[in-house]
Chain A
Amino acid sequence: MTGTAAVEIRGLEQRFETRRGSVHALTGIDLRIEAGSFVSLIGPSGCGKSTLLRCIADLVTPTGGEVLVGGVSARRAREEHHYGIAFQAAGLLDWRTVQRNVELPLELHGVGKRDRAARAAHLLEMVGLADFARMRPAELSGGMQQRVAIARALAEEPPLLLMDEPFGALDEMTRERMQAELLAIRERTGTTVVFVTHSIAEAVFCSTQVVVMSARPGRIVRVVDVDLPTRDEDAREHPSFFAGITAVREALRGRPVRGVPAGLGGDDR
């Protein structure tokens, strides 16, 4: 393993002080995410997957260990706009049009009006919402809002895209379509993606690696490499897709994986 990883986490610990005492949210997290990969974080509720994502985004400061994003500290990475982020709630600003929502990061970072508009138009084209630029978020469906949020996350062409259950609130059909669109976008931009989900199928279909976590305290159980021949709709019926699902499921259950070709031990207890 050489070169600069997109994300490098060493010995990360995260405790939260609550009224009922201290909660150990994450412990002993070591994770290296290579540039260009698509990594999903999956695990039961309370395993700290969202917290881990927030540590990478420097929205939460770890109580121990080190997080490097693109070779620099998470804080510096945030300040230098190394990543874009999309949340489960689209988090669009109701009072701005779709286009001006996409422009927000550019506006905050001093990009000129004309460049902003051009970039936003391009991104909206990419997420298939060019016709909706002048509308307000409230006039859009949930899936469309989420696409605007993704376009916003990509506005500054960040090398890293962080996504916290971005499709969690969508119905299954929309969800599958959005997954395909996300993969297509990634194909074009070459962005590294870190993706939090609780859907095994979603994780396997989208990812190059699935990081399986367990709860109390949150830790990484296993990293499952996924190798699908294609990433189109046919892939959902491919044996390697099902093998990946089995591997992830068994890792989630904490049982040893045997005879699964896609399974590749990356970490252990």
Chain B
Amino acid sequence: MNGLLAHRRAALVLPPLLAGVAALAIWQAVVVLGRIATFVLPSPTAIATAFGTVAPDVVTAATATGTTALVGLVAGSLAGVAAAVLAARLRVFDEVLSPLSAAANAMPIIALAPVFNAMFGSTSPVPRRLVVAVAVFFPLFVNTARGLRQVSPVHTELMRSLDATGWAFTRHVRLPGAVPHLFTGLRLASSLSVIAAVVAEYFGGRQDGLGSRITSAASNSAYPRAWSYVLGAVALGLVFYLVALLLERLLSPHTRRSL
């Protein structure tokens, strides 16, 4: 039994691990044997060496970007959930916000960064956080609103048979039913927040995060160093995603496990 379990785990972990190692090996071989210029693609070993020297800087920059992402994520999520609850109670609000959020889904929200820079001043950390907040607002709103709206007809009939309407219905059926949807939205938003925080720096404003380090290293032709910061951004994105996943597992126990 135990052996079987170990075997299954190996079958799950081994292929991606092998694929990853193979990809790295091919990458290294192509770069070294093909004499690829570093500006095209530095070799994994070159990136690793560079990472070793700039690791503290990567951590500092990642902390700055991470703070931006976290503050924006929390603010945007709270606003998104609040708006969804309001939309579930007030039809007009729903009718105004739903098409807007559908449209916003197609729009490049990060392009708002320079606008917020102009409004708040480009030395302030607020513009970037606001970009993140606006970007995460929509997945939270859309998913939570869908969860609140998706009530099984049998529950509707049950609650009516129990003469439970209004707030009791919201509290016992709507809100708990929406929790898994909310966490799905949060999971999407968690990766989105890091992406938005990194990209917002490309539009100017305060230059202390990963995004600006990547650009400045690239413009100095320090490509392995730039890739080290990219690595930091990837790690930061993963951390955010995994924390959101963990929160979901802890706080939404009845969610269908699918990942």
Chain A residues proximal to chain B, CB less than 8 Å:
54, 57-59, 78-79, 81, 83-85, 87, 89, 91, 93-96, 104-105, 107-109, 136, 138
Known A-B contacts A91-B152, A104-B172; A79 and B163 likewise in contact (beta carbons under 8 Å):
yes
Report whether over half of chain A's contact residues are helix, strand or loop; otherwise say mixed: loop
Q: Which residue of A lies closest to B155 (CB)?
A: A91
**Residues A94 and B154 in contact in the complex (CB < 8 Å), given A59-B160, A83-B161:** no
CA distance A224 to B155 in the complex (A): 33
Contacting residues, chain A, for B158 (C-beta < 8 A) = 85, 87, 91
Instruction: Jot down 12 A-B pairs with beta carbons below 8 A, ordered by A.
Output: A57-B157, A59-B157, A59-B161, A79-B163, A85-B157, A94-B177, A95-B179, A105-B162, A108-B162, A108-B168, A108-B172, A138-B254
| B176 to chain A: closest residue by CB | A95
B179 touches A78 (CB 8 A): no
B102 at the interface (CB under 8 A from A): no
Q: Which residues of A contact B164 (CB under 8 A)?
A: 108
A81 touches B163 (CB 8 A): yes
| CB within 8 Å: A-B pair count | 54
Question: What is the interface residue range for chain B against chain A?
Answer: 10 to 19
| Known contacts A95-B179, A108-B168; A136 and B162 CB within 8 A of each other | no
Residues of chain A with a CB closer than 8 A to B172's CB:
93, 104, 107-108
Does B41 interact with chain A (Cβ within 8 Å)? no
- B217 at the A interface (CB under 8 A): no
* CB-defined contacts of A58 to chain B, threshold 8 Å: 160-161
Top-4 shortest CB links A-B? A91-B154, A95-B176, A85-B161, A89-B154
Q: Which residue of A lies closest to B252 (CB)?
A: A95
With A91-B154, A104-B172 already in contact, the answer to whether A57 and B161 are too (CB < 8 A) is yes
Say which residue of B154, B162, B254 sits within 8 Å of A104 (CB atoms): B162
In the complex, what's the smallest C-beta–C-beta distance from A151 to chain B, in angstroms?
14
Q: Is the CB of B173 within 8 A of A93?
A: yes
Residues of chain A within 8 A (CB-CB) of B179 are 95
